[in-house]
Structure 1
Amino acid sequence: MKTAHAVPASAVSRNALVLLAAVAAGAALYWLRDILTPLALAIFLMIMIDGVKRAIEERTPLDTRWAGVAALIVVILGFFASIAIIVNGAASFFTDATGVSSGIGPRLDQILADVSHLFGVSTAPTAHDLIAGFDIGPYLTRLALQVQGAASGAFFVLVYLGFLLASQAGFRTKLVTMFPGREARSEAVAVFQRVRSGVEGYLWVQTVTGVMICAVAWLLMRVVGLDNAEFWTFVIFIVGFIPVLGGAIAGLAPPIFALVQFPTYWPALILLVGLQMILFVVGNMIQPRMQGDNQNIDPVVVLLSLALWGQLWGVVGMFLSTPLAVMAMAVLAEFKGSRWMAILLSGDGEPYVDKPGTAQARSTRVKTPRPPTAEPD
């Protein structure tokens, strides 16, 4: 009979403290979500501004200062344009839906009858029978509150963004004070660069592939004559940043509304087949080639991160779930005690965004420029 090995008390205490710390951190993230979600979006926008600024510097004769101003204007205008498109598009959509509401009931009854006959059911239920006991009032109230919260949250996002941009001036001085040693400071800068590289790579891939999907989707919706094609195109682009759920919404929402709008099933079938084809091609052939090492996250981790952050922060958490997972992997990989967690989060067991041995990794680790305000060691 084998003798059970005793677990050291220090290991048990350490694991218990880690578990309690994780639970406490999760509770704090949930309770402070109204404060932290605008801050997280502001940090997300700041990373976008930094990436756009460097792109402008590389492709235009503008210096760093004016490139930063141009990047700030571009991102802020894009932010406000997104809000305007969502608000105006949603208003137009609900107005059109109200105008054709008299024809929705008979069309739904026809769809239910056809589906029932397809499965051999002689007496088909009506739309009135299905929604008779369904109280839609609380859902509309919740939707209105979410829209109101999004409008107020956008204001706080801009406030946080302004303070974050103002605090950038003293970042290098703080970095030197926190890490007096040159080697430690270089490692800290390397972590930041890996986090930035992962988030920017994710944004770039999702934006380019989203534009591809939206171009085909808009063309298909225009061909079949679906109402509010531009609104649905923008919705498809936005939900593309939500892993897993975004593809399902993009591929199913327009065909479902086409079922109600048109008297035949052909427009909905064309949209369903066309959208599923472009989503399959982009998701399985184009996107993996573009991602490379920028999104070296295990698919199970992506799904769990989506569920976790969606539960903690709602829709905002769903949008930020993958970038937050990339950030967590990059930070955890820097500490010996937490590196095993970064390995589990990674897709191939190598948690670094830039793999060791590559030219980019060597430049990140060895040739990191010293901050100009650094004092001699």
Structure 2
Amino acid sequence: MDAPQRFPPTNMLRVMTAMLAACTAVLLGVALFQAERVFAPLAFALFIIAVTWPLQNFLQNRMPRLIALALTTTAIVVVISTFALLLAWAAGRVGRFVVSDVARLQALYGSMAAWLQSHGIEIAGIWSSYFNVDQLLRLAQEVTSRLNTAISFLIVVFVYVLLGLLEVDDVRAKLRAWRHGNLGKVLLVGGSNGAARLQRYMLVRTQMSAITGLLVWGFAWLAGLPLAFEWGVIAFALNFIPFIGPFIATVFPTVFAVAQFELWPMAIAIFACLNVIQFVVGSYLEPRFVGNALSISPIIVLFSVFFWTFLWGIPGAFIGVPIVIAFLALCEANPSTQWIVDLFGAPPNAPPQA
């Protein structure tokens, strides 16, 4: 009788290490999901600190640190407030236009419902089930709750940013003096490289979002679509969320075009042209502006957007790609984790996606 086959000790160690890593990843994902109110503001604060640190460093080298901090945080508040107000203004303009045109939209809905009913599709019951007074009240309560949550979220982020900008120099000094292995060097080099890449990412993302907004505005104006400037603003704002944002920015004007022109070919043409704009900017122009600084596999970009959206909702959709950029920068600084960068980075000699 043959003796039972045994795994070599090295192979067994690799299997156990892989199983331990998989269990750790699952537990970490559960912890991030359950503790969203703790980790999401911290992640956003670290991202803002990484992006705005050059400004803070420039100012504090020329004036007292607290004055520099006040100027930097003022700039952060102005940028975020302007962005939010601009998006709210555009969305409000679209909403008011829809309300003012409600009679024609109701007539269009009636003709569409009649056409669907003639083909055996009954939507009146679905409409009454999901769009009644109780549902609208619940929706209003949900919107109010989310606004309160967003305000609380921003306050916590702001406090983290204030404290973090004051601690950057101290943390860097501690990492330079680290005497417990090479962790200090990895964090210092990886953090510096990650911050530089995040700054480049936001610069290019802002430029591409502006180009996308201008192209959408110009096309909507040429196509005769009302609120052309507002659609451009919405496209600019949503372009900061990869994949999901551009998709929403093309669907909304298309639905609006169906109601406005009442011609399906026109709506399909608008949808196709908006997607061409998004594709040209996102897949042709952006990689050439980014260069090799953000070499991330497109699959990883897509996975990170959906994964962090699942964990943290809209904040996760925005912060997902920056988290991957920072993580890969840390892995690149450590020789033992360099294989992660080689595996999840963009293919050699291929334009990166971000």
1:250 lines up with 2:249 in the alignment: yes
Instruction: Say if 2:83 is the partner of 1:82.
Output: yes
1:1-377 → structure 2 map (5 Å cutoff): 6-8=7-9, 9-52=12-55, 64-65=61-62, 71-110=72-111, 123=119, 128=124, 131-135=127-131, 136-137=135-136, 138-139=138-139, 141-179=141-179, 188-224=187-223, 226-264=225-263, 268=267, 271-348=270-347
For residues 167 and 19 of structure 2, the distance between their equivalents in structure 1, rounded to whole angstroms, comes to: 37
Give the 3-state SS of the residue equivalent to 1:133 in structure 2. helix
Return the letter of the residue paired with 2:233.
F
In structure 2, the CA distance between the partners of 1:185 and 1:33, relative to structure 1 (3 Å rule), is closer
| Contact kept? 1:49, 1:68, Cα under 8 Å | no
| TM-score, normalised by the number of residues in structure 1 | 0.76
CA contact (8 A) 1:105 1:127 kept: no
Is the 8 Å Cα contact of residues 29 and 312 (structure 1) preserved in structure 2? yes
Give the letter for the 1:48 counterpart.
V
- Please say if residues 222 and 229 of structure 1, whose CA atoms lie closer than 8 Å, have aligned partners that are also in contact: yes
Name the amino acid aligned to 1:166.
L
Distance in 2 (alpha carbons) for counterparts of 1:147 and 1:264: 37
Offset of residue 52 of structure 1: 4.9
In the aligned structure 1, how far is the partner of 2:268 from the partner of 2:24? 51
User: In 2, Cα distance between the equivalents of 1:124 and 1:322?
Assistant: 44
The letter of the residue matching 1:73 is: T
Q: TM (normalized to structure 2)?
A: 0.81
Aligned partners of 1:33, 1:184: CA distance in 2, in Å? 27
Please report the RMSD computed on the Cα atoms of aligned residues, expressed in angstroms.
3.4
Q: Is the Cα contact below 8 Å between 1:50 and 1:68 reproduced in 2?
A: no
How far 1:206 sits from its partner (Å)?
A: 1.2
Show the counterpart of 1:367. Answer: none
> May I ask how many residue pairs the two structures share in their alignment?
338
CA contact 1:241–1:319 (8 Å) conserved in 2: yes
- Give how far 1:180 is off: 8.2
Distance in 1 (alpha carbons) for counterparts of 2:55 and 2:216: 27
What secondary structure does 2:167 align onto? helix
Query: Measured at CA, do residues 213 and 71 of structure 1 come closer, stay the same or move farther in structure 2, by a change above 3 Å?
Result: same
Deviates more, 1:135-144 or 1:270-279: 135-144
1:346 shift after superposition: 0.7
* 1:74 alignment partner AA: A
Change (3 A) 1:225 1:17: same
* Alignment CA distance shift 1:151-1:250 (3 Å): same
1:178 alignment partner, SS class: coil
CA distance in 1, matches of 2:279, 2:19: 44
**Alpha-carbon contact 1:89-1:231 (below 8 Å) kept:** yes
Asked if the contact 2:172/2:188 (under 8 Å) is kept, the reply is no
**Secondary structure in 1 matching 2:130:** coil
Task: Give the Cα–Cα distance (whole angstroms) in 2 for the partners of residues 30 and 16 of structure 1.
Answer: 21
Tell me how far apart the structure 1 counterparts of residues 90 and 148 of structure 2 sit (CA, whole Å): 16
What 5-or-longer segments of structure 1 have no aligned partner?
354-377
Name stretches of at least 5 consecutive residues in structure 2 with no aligned partner: none
One-letter identity of the residue aligned with 2:130: F
Indicate the residue corresponding to 1:371 in structure 2.
none
1:94 to 1:220, Cα distance in 2 relative to 1, 3 A = same
C-alpha separation in 2, matches of 1:148 and 1:229: 31
- In the alignment, the residues of structure 2 paired with residue 155 and residue 84 of structure 1 have an alpha-carbon distance, to the nearest angstrom, of 17
User: Cα 1:53–1:232, aligned 2, differ >3 Å: closer, same or farther?
Assistant: farther
State how far apart, in whole Å, the 2-side matches of 1:12 and 1:129 are. 55
Deviation string, structure 1 residues 11-56 (Cα, Å, up to 9, x no partner): 33323322222122111111111122122112222222124567xx
Q: Shift in Å at residue 277 of structure 1?
A: 2.8
Return the alpha-carbon distance in structure 2 between the equivalents of residues 261 and 321 of structure 1: 36
